[in-house]
Amino acid sequence: MKNVIYLLVALVVTSCASTQTKTYWVNSSKANGIKDSAAYFQVQEAEQIQTNQWQEFPYAIDGFEYKAGYFYKIEVKEEKKVADVPSAKYSLVKVLEKKEDLILHISSNWKLQQIASKKILIEDFEDPHQIPQLEIDASLLKIFGSDGCNRFFGRLIHLTESEISFGPIGGTKMMCIDRWLPDLFLKEITQVKSYKIEGSQLFFYNENKEEVMIFKRID
C-alpha cells in the first residue's frame, strides 16, 4: 500500500508544472541572421534593448506572429514541468511594443559615387568593376565587396542608427596597374565614424563630421 502511495505522490509531483510570466525583447533578425521559421529567436530580458546582449531562444512562442525587421517587446507565459525542466512551453500574453529596426536599412549593396570630394564617373573607367562596391549585412555585422582591384571582407565593430565603425579588413592580393582608387578607398573607409541614408544614397562621415564617401544602392 505504501508503495502505491509513493508512486501516486511521485506521479503528482512529476505532472506538476511551474508557471510564470516573463518579458522579453525579441531581436529584429533571428540567430545567425537567418529569417526563416526554423531559426532561433534572439531575446534579452531588459527594460531597454542592450547592444550585443542577445541570447538564442530555442523555443516556439505560441500565438506570436513574428516579422523580421522589427524589435518586439513581449510578455509571455512560461510553463515548465518540475521534473522535466528542459521541456518548457511558451505562449504569448501580449505584445507590449513593436518598432522597426532602422539599422537594417543599411543592409544592401552599394556602389561608390564620390570619395574625398572626387566624383566617380563610370565613363572614367575602362571596366565598371574598377569602381569600388560595398555590401553590408547589418544583422551579421559583416561587410564584403571590391575596392576596384581586390575583393575584401571584414566586420563592423560598431553600428547604430547613425554611427558606424569598420574593423580590420582582409582581402585578396591581386596586382593592379592603377592603384590610386583602391588605396584611397581602403584608407578612407577606416576613417568612417557616422552615416546617413537619403533615398538610394549612403553618406559616410569621419569623426569631424566631414563627408568622405557617397554610395548609391544597386540592389
Q: Which has the minimum average pLDDT: 38-47, 69-78, 156-165?
A: 38-47
Predicted confidence at residue 140, as pLDDT, reads: 85
108 and 195 together in one domain = yes
CB 59 within 8 A of CB 78: no
**Where a domain ends, among 100, 125, 152?**
100
140 and 202 together in one domain = yes
How is residue 132 written as a grid cell? 569600388
Q: What is the pTM of this model?
A: 0.72
What's the pLDDT tens digit per position in 70-122?
Answer: 999 999 999 987 655 557 899 999 999 999 998 999 999 999 999 988 888 76
For residue 156, list its beta bridge partners: 166
Q: How many domains does the chain have?
A: 2
Looking at residue 64, its amino acid is F
56 and 125 together in one domain = no
88 and 113 together in one domain = no
Predicted confidence at residue 63, as pLDDT, reads: 96
- Find the largest Cα–Cα distance for the chain: 95
What range does the domain containing 33 cover?
Answer: 2-100
65 and 86 together in one domain = yes
**Where a domain ends, among 100, 119, 135?**
100
142 and 119 together in one domain = yes
141 and 48 together in one domain = no
CB 56 within 8 A of CB 31: yes
Percentage above 90 pLDDT, the chain? 63
Residue 11 pLDDT > 50:
no
Residue 18 pLDDT > 50:
yes
130 and 206 together in one domain = yes
151 and 189 together in one domain = yes
Question: Where residue 208 sits, what CATH number does that domain have?
Answer: 2.40.128.270
192 and 168 together in one domain = yes
DSSP for 169-209, written as a single string: EEE-----S--HHHHHHHHHHTT--EEEEETTEEEEE-TT-
57 and 150 together in one domain = no
Whole-angstrom distance, CA of residue 205 vs CA of residue 196: 9
Q: What is the mean pLDDT of residues 184-202?
A: 96
142 and 94 together in one domain = no
Among candidates 58, 48, 60, which has minimal Cα distance to 23?
Answer: 48
**Where a domain ends, among 79, 100, 121?**
100
85: number of Cβ within 10 Å: 9
